[in-house]
Structure 1
Amino acid sequence: MGVVVAIDADGGAVLASDTLAVDDGRVTSENAEQLFEFDGAIVGAVGDRGDVDEFARTVQGELQQVDVETGTDLDVGRLGRIAASAAADVGVEALVAGRDDVGDASVRRVGTSGDLVSVTTGALGSGSAVALGFLEGKDPPESLSDAVELARESVQAAQDVDVETGGDVEAVTLEDRE
């Protein structure tokens, strides 16, 4: 299953993940995509590989239907509701980063039942306990670049312990609008 980590920091938000896909105890890919970038948004999901892919396609399709005024971003609340509906349909968990009405990046956690919670740090997947434990032992990042490094390190900590977390570490940022 792997791990997806999110940190809401000064200057923006970061999502990081590993790239290992394990289904039924068997490695199916070392290059699996768990982070998905959309215009003004990042989504990371964990679950069965086919379900994660279906979730990403559903979110992308819904976002293409949303009418957003030129020069503005999709509100993180609306993005979260779209992701929550898609997650509930396929049974995945997700972390989403989008911008609020003043342009600040913000993170939401989406559960398999479609629940939506605002978080400053979050981790999902088989390595989430290790990643969260790593994050709790650290000072809050002072900048977005510090948050990227911290998110990467927390995924690496999960890789050291969890057999379903591995491969490369990817990180994607969403900066606050100025």
Structure 2
Amino acid sequence: MATIVGVRCRDGVVLAGDRLRVRDGRVESRNRQHVFDFDLDGDAVGGATVGSDVDRFADRFGGELRSYRLERGPVPLAAVERIGSDVASETGCEAIVAARDRDEDEDGRAALRAVYPDGSTLSDPPMALGSGASLALGQLEAADLDAMSVDDCESFLRETFEAVAERDPGTGDEVDVWTLADEDG
């Protein structure tokens, strides 16, 4: 199983995931996408997912987001979280989703939510899921993420995945990254 990570840094959020697909202890692919960009005509939404049916999660999540956008307009973070949780339940995947929180108190601050197949959610970054999650969390919790810019955090996550890949056979060192900066208030 791959590893995915979501972190909050000084001026935004960063999602990252490796490209390895391992099944039954055997590498099936070194080019498996786990991080996705869902551009919704101005509403930036990202997702990273692990599980047995990553493509189905990405297709369903993207489709549900587009339907929401078409029927109701801009997609708030609460809807991203609910849709992600519903799709995680349907597909049996775990995911980290990201969007801007447009509540009156947040004013466009980028935010993350972890969603699980049992319908539960988590909103306390840093987040890591997959086979190398505990190794990645060890690296993340030792870093001062609040002081890092989005660009610095992206570089740090790439280094983190290299370290995790050395110790976890289910995590690769080829990494996809998606970033979302806070809006200026």
Tell me the TM-score normalized by structure 2.
0.88
Check whether the contact 2:126–2:141 (CA below 8 A) recurs between aligned residues.
Answer: no
Deviation at 1:120, TM superposition (A): 2.3
2:17 aligns to what?
17
1:113 aligns to what?
118
Does the alignment pair 1:34 with 2:31? Answer: no
Distance 1:115 1:142 in 2: 29
**Structure 1 residue ranges without an equivalent (≥5):** none
1:81 aligns to what?
82
- For residues 81-111 of structure 1, give each alpha carbon's deviation from its aligned partner in whole angstroms, at most 9, with x where no partner exists: 1011000111111001100012110011111
Q: Which amino acid aligns with 1:58?
A: R
- For residues 63-98 of structure 1, give each alpha carbon's deviation from its aligned partner in whole angstroms, at most 9, with x where no partner exists: 11113699x852122101101100011111100110
2:181 aligns to what?
175
Distance 1:119 1:73 in 2: 24
User: Following superposition, which runs of at least 4 residues in structure 1 exceed 4 angstroms of deviation?
Assistant: none
2:168 aligns to what?
162
CA RMSD of aligned residues (A): 1.7
| Matched position secondary structure for 2:161 | helix
Task: State how 1:20-169 maps to structure 2 within 5 Å.
Answer: 20-39=20-39, 40-48=44-52, 51-67=53-69, 73-101=74-102, 102-140=107-145, 141-169=147-175
Distance 1:53 1:86 in 2: 12
Q: Percent identity?
A: 39
| Matched position secondary structure for 1:134 | helix
Deviation at 1:56, TM superposition (A): 0.6
Distance 1:175 1:100 in 2: 12
Check whether the contact 2:162–2:173 (CA below 8 A) recurs between aligned residues.
Answer: no
**Structure 2 residue ranges without an equivalent (≥5):** none
Q: 1:126 to 1:8 in 2, by over 3 A?
A: same
Distance 1:152 1:76 in 2: 26
Deviation at 1:153, TM superposition (A): 2.0
Check whether the contact 1:42–1:97 (CA below 8 A) recurs between aligned residues.
Answer: yes
- For residues 117-170 of structure 1, give each alpha carbon's deviation from its aligned partner in whole angstroms, at most 9, with x where no partner exists: 112211000000100011112222431112112222222221111101115111
| Matched position secondary structure for 2:69 | coil
